[in-house]
Homo-oligomer: A and B are copies of this chain.
Amino acid sequence: MGINEFARQVKDASITLAAMSAEQKNKALQEIAVALVERQGEIIEANQVDLARSEKENLAEPLLKRLKFDADKIADVVEGINSLIGLGDPVGKTLAATELDEDLELYRVTCPIGVIGVIFESRPDALVQISTLCLKSGNGVLLKGGSEAMETNRILADVIIRATEKAGAPANWIKLMETRAQVSEMLKLDEYIDLIIPRGSNEFVRYIMDNSRIPVMGHADGICHCYVDEEFDSGMAVKIVVDSKTQYVAVCNAVETLLVHAGAAESYLPVLKEVLDAKQVQMVGCPRTQQIIPVSAASEEDWKAEYLDYQLAVRVVDSLDQAIDHINCYGSGHTDSIITTNRDKAAKFVSLVDSGNVFWNCSTRFSDGFRYGLGAEVGISTNKVHARGPVGLDGLVIYKYILLGNGQTVAEYAGREKTFKHGKMDKNYSM
């Protein structure tokens, strides 16, 4: 079956899915959790086929580790589903209620976006996480996982499809894609697909953004900054920068560029370098940095680099304004943190840095759906519209305006026969 037909079926199913009650959706999530445990043997067996093939193909060790889907991972995923069941329904929330006139009530009510296309990396747990988030938010989904995880993904999709059908979800609400050609095809289907969420490398995300008319939510770069102000606690500044850089280097919220106020640089940089040296972090710096610590010269390219590695670019600045300008110029709008004891400077930084996540005196590594308490996340967005930062259930819904009348026409109001009241009502939509 062509991907066009797949997408049409998901679109059809999404209409019914959108009207499912919170209870029905939670029941379906429950069935998935039960089925994952029941079919654990099958799942692990399929995963071992993937692992064996990937080892033979010399897949790198960290990727093999991500690919592995054993009893512990299944238990984690089931725990995730159970906490998702505990979250409130993001659909059907009344965002605003206005009495336009007597017997003419306007409600703005959340509803699913429709059909979401998600392309994700090798971890099979991502398939379960993403599809359960889509189910809870009432969205149909087309999924494409890493080809290394093909067998595991196939059985996980089968588990989800059967379990949710059993719970009364419409057939076809979820479809698994298996080839890159299908993904290319999907990018053209703006008639059926409302949003694409690509997860993966910078180049991959850019490719998706450049090749589809469908809105794309996600991030290409994670060029995060720490700025150490001249009014600072040195111990805290070392601790935060070391955590931001080294707690996990391969992730989008790790810091890539450190900005240091000239008034802090001489005392701070040597101390920081000692700790980072011990962690094998390679530093490059601007000429003023090089006058203080022995590091290679940073080039213009370093300010634009997302190293995702044990590397850090350092620049000495003369003011908070210069730091803010650097971040707004070279940053990717992901996560930036100021370290200062001065509340006013922190307030200014938070106000003027144009990023989805702006922090005061804490590690950039906190920008994450789980740490934010959103439950799971579908990804982190550097978009300027719809949803920004870690995106959980709230980012998977939109709203519709519902107007309940009693025969009213616009002519009556245009002719000033009647006038609008526009009174706020403290009332939820219900029919």
**Nearest CB of chain B from residue A109's CB, rounded to whole Å:** 9
B357 to A400, Cβ gap below 8 A? yes
B400 to A356, Cβ gap below 8 A? yes
A398 to B411, Cβ gap below 8 A? no
A240 to B407, Cβ gap below 8 A? yes
A366 to B408, Cβ gap below 8 A? yes
Measured between beta carbons, the chain B residues less than 8 angstroms from A388 are 398-401
Closest B residue to A343 using CB positions: B431
A400 to B351, CA, bound (A): 10
A247 to B422, CA, bound (A): 22
**Nearest CB of chain B from residue A337's CB, rounded to whole Å:** 8
B365 to A410, Cβ gap below 8 A? yes
Interface check A125, CB cutoff 8 A: no
Interface check A207, CB cutoff 8 A: no
Comparing A209-217, A259-267, A305-313, the segment that makes contact with chain B is A209-217
Query: What 1/0 mask marks residues of chain A from 246 to 278 whose CB sits below 8 Å from any chain B CB?
Result: 011000000000000000000000000000000
A198 to B398, CA, bound (A): 21
Interface check A347, CB cutoff 8 A: yes
Measured between beta carbons, the chain B residues less than 8 angstroms from A365 are 409-410
A383 to B240, Cβ gap below 8 A? no
Interface check A85, CB cutoff 8 A: no
Interface check A188, CB cutoff 8 A: no
A410 in complex: contacting residue of B114, B363, B383, B402, CB < 8 Å: B363
Measured between beta carbons, the chain B residues less than 8 angstroms from A390 are 401
Interface check A385, CB cutoff 8 A: yes
Interface check A59, CB cutoff 8 A: no
A420 in complex: contacting residue of B19, B371, B385, B404, CB < 8 Å: B371
Q: 3 closest A-B pairs (Cβ-Cβ)? A: A362-B405, A243-B409, A373-B422
Name 29 A/B residue pairs within 8 A (Cβ), A-sorted.
Answer: A15-B324, A15-B352, A98-B373, A100-B373, A106-B372, A114-B384, A195-B385, A215-B383, A235-B407, A239-B407, A243-B409, A343-B431, A355-B400, A358-B400, A358-B401, A358-B403, A359-B405, A360-B403, A361-B408, A362-B405, A363-B409, A366-B410, A371-B410, A372-B401, A385-B385, A385-B398, A388-B399, A388-B401, A390-B401
Q: A residues within 8 Å of B by Cβ?
A: 15-16, 18-19, 98, 100, 104, 106, 108, 113-114, 194-195, 209-210, 213, 215, 217, 233, 235-236, 239-240, 242-243, 247-248, 324, 328, 343-344, 346-347, 350-352, 354-363, 365-367, 371-373, 383-386, 388-390, 398-411, 413-414, 420, 422, 431
